Structure 1
Amino acid sequence: MSFLAFLLLGLIAGAIAKAILPGRQGGGWFVTLLLGVVGAMLGGWLGSVLFGANLQEFWSLQTWLLAIGGSIVVLLIYGLIVGGSRRRES
């Protein structure tokens, strides 16, 4: 998969993960892109380690599910870090 396709996958996976998670997550499109790319990397790595998944195809359902799942995990961690610091400031 090319680098541009990977960025597009990360952006869309991050946006889908934000839509799936309840509540309001902060950050604009750039934060969504970063978290989505990190989530896609995490999901791809976990998928290859745990399930032996091959993530070379952009249009593969397996690739998208692992990227979205990884993005959800990264968004949850991001929410705990950012949400925890906001509560302490108030």
Structure 2
Amino acid sequence: MFWTILGWILFGLIAGFLARALVPGKDDIGLLRTIVLGVVGSVVGGLLFGLLTVGIRGFQPAGWIGSVIGAVIVLVIYNKVTGRKSHRGA
């Protein structure tokens, strides 16, 4: 159980950081929100992949690519809802 949780945290951290790197602008969301972004993005990516291929499969996370795509979608929505996006170099 411990290793599963640790794996999700590490997976979420990497996917969240990659999403933050792909979305233009500066994101001041911190480490914990980056992890949550990656984990939620993985679930969103899995849901979208399921909808596009075989239909809803229930709770299944996506692989790396699907997780990063899902995290990018979640980050863009988060920035729109909260208005927390600032521009780089400004």
State the Cα distance separating 1:41 from its structure 2 match. 0.7
In the alignment, the residues of structure 1 paired with residue 82 and residue 14 of structure 2 have an alpha-carbon distance, to the nearest angstrom, of 22
Letter in 2 for 1:13: A
In the alignment, the residues of structure 1 paired with residue 47 and residue 5 of structure 2 have an alpha-carbon distance, to the nearest angstrom, of 16
Residue deviations 1:23-78, cap 9 Å, x none?
011210011011111111100121122124xx78xxxxx71000000000000001
Equivalent in the alignment of 2:41:
39
Gaps of 5+ in 1: 57-61, 85-90
State the Cα distance separating 1:3 from its structure 2 match. 3.6
Paired positions, count: 77
State the Cα distance separating 1:10 from its structure 2 match. 1.4
Gaps of 5+ in 2: 55-59, 85-90
In the alignment, the residues of structure 1 paired with residue 83 and residue 67 of structure 2 have an alpha-carbon distance, to the nearest angstrom, of 23
Equivalent in the alignment of 2:68:
68
Q: TM-score, normalised by structure 2?
A: 0.73
More helix per residue: 1 or 2? Answer: 1
Letter in 2 for 1:25: D
3-state DSSP of counterpart to 2:46: helix
Report % sequence identity.
Answer: 38
In the alignment, the residues of structure 1 paired with residue 69 and residue 44 of structure 2 have an alpha-carbon distance, to the nearest angstrom, of 9
Letter in 1 for 2:74: V
